[in-house]
Structure 1
């Protein structure tokens, strides 16, 4: 009974000390409760000896003493036993915590996604592998059995073994507690594996470290990616520095951060003069706002690419043009970091475009506005007059007997006279007046801001006085007379009407003796009646079989072969004889007769092409037909061509259509669709009179042309006029770069022919080679053309 009481007292004390850890309290309470019997208590003490033999023996002795002593002695023994039990509890907690820690380490070690290992730091077996996880086995290509017992110098590359041994020795000696390094290891299959190694020495108290815990991460792919990135960066640097086009980096505010040598050369400035400057300060005045807006749109993500042409003042003062192409470089968070721009030098092209645009709107010889610009200016003048309540007048001038000047003194003298007339005409006009040359010996003056038609007469008289002064040409004094027709109107006048009326008045002045002016009068409409009669006769020309086609061959400048013919319209008028298009096409277009006439030309030319195709096979020439603007944009022409090809059996590729730039102006999508539909049928397209329109290069971009025909106005000055020669050479080069066949029109001299061959022109046609003729004449040409014919004298 006394033993039971002691046991109860001890149990109560143990429970009080073990409340903080339920698991330990349960274990101890169970052990002490069994002490109700000495044998059981001894057994438990023996069990406790597993955790601490001395403590268990003390517990057993105290329990025996408690069974034989008196109550007071037993109470003292109980106190001693309480202290011993408390020590047991603490030890049990430590053991349990150690087990938990070992379990966590084992799980973490075994399941880590990177290689893990324990490496000996004992001097006797320094670097020997003690333990590895599966990831380490995968990384090294070896099993755990193969790895255990190896030293790490087996794993590392031979070139790095000494470094590895030095690092381990430093850990073993306690000179450092850990190290991290990138190292090259050898996989079991022999390939190199790049790893990032982290080793941590493990020591107890102040004792020397026994081993190190290592973490090994495979960074081979990272190294490859880094190497690839370095290669790409080096390639980009080389491409950037050595690019033939200008390249630069801007910050997001548009400030120049870096540029290549080509950029500095393009602008003529040194690096120190450009870096740090805003791009909008480098372009020409008036262009900075668009640059700023473009950069802002890029940075804001409104556009992905900024592309525009800008001019830059060169260091020496002249302008250079660049085609800018820029995009945003983002940082790793997807935010704009900087901008990269490529600047292509397009100065030569831009100058050519400006020159072509000027030539398209101005007369090459005199520099005056041509018909296209005149028509546009006159239209605006009529609109301004209507708004202001003023009059506008047109003076139509024609040099009297100009043909005699050309015939007697030559074309050079004639050109000189035209130039002097243009200069004097421009010099005597008011600021509000505009002079233009329509062509040949015809000039037009547009007078604005007139209160009545009488003021136009005063301008005409001033022109007469200016031109009355004799002109000296080649030592000869020439009196230049002009016939002037005047037409004026108030608001609402139509430009075509004014020109037509002034032209009518001019012819009236010539009829009245030349060297004078006439103001248009409705009575002069007799000439208009004549035109009406011509239009009536023309409307019956198809029915009466009066239309004819003549053909002019096109020659290959390399082989001399006839490769094509151009169909040229003629009218065998019953009273006036054989008329050229210049004598009746204006009437046909004004009376909307070009569609039926054009249909006739397409059918007749296709029939003739079929005949030649059957006669000459593959050597048959291509047939080229000129198209009127009235035929385009209505899908009618496509239907006519399709039907004609079906009826004649002509190979579609043997038929080509020629259109002028003027016909494309304002045609829009309807004209484009029509031309594309014709090409889909297999036809070929040529742009005629190239270089005389407003925007030649734009049409080459929008339409898929097969041939370019250089206008005869450029060919006429070839070899003697610097501008004509330069433009011709540029067009030939342009055609070559775009894989377009280039045809020279109006070749009339041997010098022109030789110059074209030297410039690499593909084809040519003109009076030097062969005049237009009826089919029977061309039959002989095709049958005998083995080389270029003898030039016409």
Structure 2
């Protein structure tokens, strides 16, 4: 087979270098070279990404990232600089701050390069802000109740497991409460589901407002809510937190001109040692159910709260063969 007329692929080094330079200049991906944390090269796409005045060359890369990202990026760069071995390419994400103050999410592929005896870090970067925002929406949809914005059962289980792992180390006790709203179905049946939805939203806001920022308030299902609170030496007692919850639900709810007074069945448990979270939820559910049954019996007059029979004085000769005045119910 005659290859005499095929073009040769070999090109002078200068032509290859020029082609690579044109490619780096025109590529839509941001390309940056770092040396000891400072930018020694940045293509046009990198300059356009941050829209800062002037070139990025000469700037400290840590001045460009969001303050929350500085410690992590500093450690990453130090690892690349100090490692004697050439590290394999690694991918990571970080937040950068543009000239207008807007924060953008950047994914970077980093690789170490030995150039003229100096260790430099090459970065190929792309803006993934839109993708990160979409992923955040998906994550929130999977872990939060769309009506109230509270954590759902999935996130509740995760929070409970985290608290169980911290119990005995970062916290002394964990309070778990389950609340079941009384009469919620009648609100839906009488005033409609729109009013019922408003009631659930107001309950969620009140519960969040009654508790601390680190406490978890979750919507378990329907009209059931679960509270998880880690307690330390300086924390409020379980009784105090339960009192705050009861007070939050005690005031009437105003719903489109309709006043609704609400009560709730409550089951609570204070844990001193880790337990299976599903077993904990089952236990507070049983406690809540027993509490509601007891309340129902009291409401029907079967077991009045604080019941003490009145002392009745009988006339002489009634009920006593010796004619003494007899006191009953003592």
Given the two structures, how large is their TM-score scaled by the length of structure 2? Answer: 0.73
Counterparts of 1:465 and 1:304, CA distance in 2: 58
CA RMSD of aligned residues (A): 3.3
Cα shift readout 1:630-659 (whole Å, capped 9, x = no counterpart): xxxxxxxxxxxxxxxxxxxxxxxxxxxxxx
1:325/1:441 CA distance change after superposition, 3 Å: same
Is 1:266 aligned with 2:49? yes
> 1:448-506 deviations in whole A, cap 9, x for unaligned?
3379xx95344333322211222222222222322111223433444333221110111
Contact kept in structure 2, 1:393 and 1:448, CA below 8 Å:
yes
Determine helix, strand or coil for the equivalent of 2:148. Answer: coil
Query: Of the candidates 488, 498, 501, which is equivalent to residue 280 of structure 2?
Result: 498
- Are residues 264 and 408 of structure 1, via their aligned partners in 2, closer, same or farther at CA, if it must alter by over 3 Å? farther
Matched-pair contact (CA < 8 Å) for 2:181–2:263: yes
Deviation (angstroms), 1:438: 1.4
CA deviation after TM superposition for structure 1 residue 428, in Å: 1.6
Deviations along 1:684-739, one digit per CA (max 9) or x if unpaired, are xxxxxxxxxxxxxxxxxxxxxxxxxxxxxxxxxxxxxxxxxxxxxxxxxxxxxxxx
Is 1:381 the counterpart of 2:163? The answer is yes
Which residue is equivalent to 2:72? 287
Larger Rg: 1
| Deviation, structure 1 residue 279 | 2.4
Which of 447, 469, 474 is equivalent to 2:251?
A: 469
Q: Which residue of 1 aligns with 2:106?
A: 322
Higher relative helix content? 1
For residue 358 of structure 1, report the CA deviation from its aligned partner. Answer: 3.7
Cα deviation 1:161-180 (Å, max 9, x = unaligned): xxxxxxxxxxxxxxxxxxxx
Q: 1:397 aligns with which of 163, 175, 179?
A: 179
Deviation per CA, 1:166-199: give whole Å up to 9, x if none: xxxxxxxxxxxxxxxxxxxxxxxxxxxxxxxxxx
The residue number in structure 2 matching 1:695 is none
Answer yes or no: is the 8 Å Cα contact 1:294–1:306 preserved in 2.
Answer: no
Change (3 A) 1:508 1:314: same
SS at match of 2:99: coil
Compared with structure 1, are the counterparts of its residues 491 and 295 closer, same or farther at alpha carbon in structure 2 (3 Å cutoff)?
Answer: closer
- In structure 2, relative to structure 1, the CA distance for the partners of 1:455 and 1:283 (3 Å cut) is closer
- Are the structure 2 counterparts of residues 255 and 305 from structure 1 closer, same or farther at C-alpha, using a change threshold of 3 Å? same
How far apart, CA to CA, are the structure 2 residues paired with 1:240 and 1:457?
Answer: 65
- Is the 1:397–1:484 contact (alpha carbons within 8 Å) kept by the matching residues of 2? yes
2:202 equivalent in structure 1: 420
**Structure 1's 318 and 468: CA in aligned 2 closer, same or farther, altered over 3 A?**
same
Counterpart Cα distance in 1 of 2:170 and 2:104: 42
In 1, the alpha carbon distance for the partners of 2:50 and 2:293 equals 61
CA distance in 2, matches of 1:408, 1:485: 27
Structure 2 distance, partners of 1:432, 1:266, is 37
Shift of 1:294: 4.8
Give the distance between the partners of 1:277 and 1:355, measured in 2 at CA. Answer: 34
Structure 2 gaps of 5+ residues are 1-7, 299-330
TM-score norm. by structure 1 comes to 0.33
The question of whether the paired residues in 2 share the 8 Å contact of 1:483 and 1:509 is answered with yes
1:235 to 8, 13, 19: 19
Separation (CA, whole Å) in 1 of partners of 2:62 and 2:50: 14
1:61-72 aligned at under 5 Å gives the runs: none
Name the residue aligned to 1:356: 138
Distance 2:58 2:171 in 1: 56
Relative distance call for 1:306 and 1:491 in structure 2 (3 A) is: closer
**Equivalences for 1:38-187 in 2 at 5 Å?**
none
Change (3 A) 1:426 1:255: same
Unaligned 5+ residue runs, structure 1?
1-220, 517-793
- Helix, strand or coil for the counterpart of 2:11? helix
The aligned residue for residue 429 of structure 1 is 211
1:249 aligns with 2:28: no
Q: Distance in 1 between matches of 2:247 and 2:216?
A: 18
Query: Separation in 1 of the partners of 2:112 and 2:168?
Result: 51
**Contact 1:472–1:478 (8 Å) recurs in 2:** yes
Distance in structure 2 (CA, Å) of the matches to 1:258 and 1:350: 27
CA distance in 2, matches of 1:347, 1:307: 16
Change (3 A) 1:407 1:240: farther
8 Å CA contact 2:94–2:105 kept in 1: the answer is: yes
Give the Cα separation in 1 of the matches to 2:47 and 2:214: 45
- Counterparts in 2 of 1:636-651, with a 5 A limit? none
Which whole-Å deviations, capped at 9, do the CAs of 1:51-100 have from their partners, x for residues lacking one?
xxxxxxxxxxxxxxxxxxxxxxxxxxxxxxxxxxxxxxxxxxxxxxxxxx
2:266 is matched with 484
Distance in 2 of aligned mates of 1:350 and 1:399: 37
> How far apart are the structure 2 equivalents of 1:455 and 1:256?
54
Pairing partner for 1:367 from 141, 145, 149: 149
How far the C-alpha of 1:432 sits from its partner, in A, is 6.5
Q: Which whole-Å CA distance do the structure 2 matches of 1:327 and 1:460 have between them? A: 55
- CA distance in structure 2 between the aligned counterparts of 1:240 and 1:290, rounded to whole angstroms: 28
2: CA distance, partners of 1:390 / 1:340: 48
Pick 1 or 2: higher relative contact order, CA cutoff 8 A, min separation 6.
Answer: 2
For 2:308, the equivalent position in structure 1 comes to none
* 8 Å CA contact retained: 2:80, 2:87: no
Task: Tell me the secondary structure at the aligned position of residue 111 of structure 2.
Answer: strand
Please give the secondary structure, in 2, of the residue aligned with 1:302: coil
Question: 1:300 & 1:280 partners in 2: Cα distance?
Answer: 23
In the TM superposition, what whole-angstrom CA distance separates every residue of 1:403-442 from its partner, at most 9, and x where no partner exists? 3333444433322211110111111225664322213211
Q: 1:468 to 1:295 in 2, by over 3 A?
A: same
The 1:396/1:241 distance shift into structure 2, 3 A limit, reads same
1:343 aligns with 2:129: no
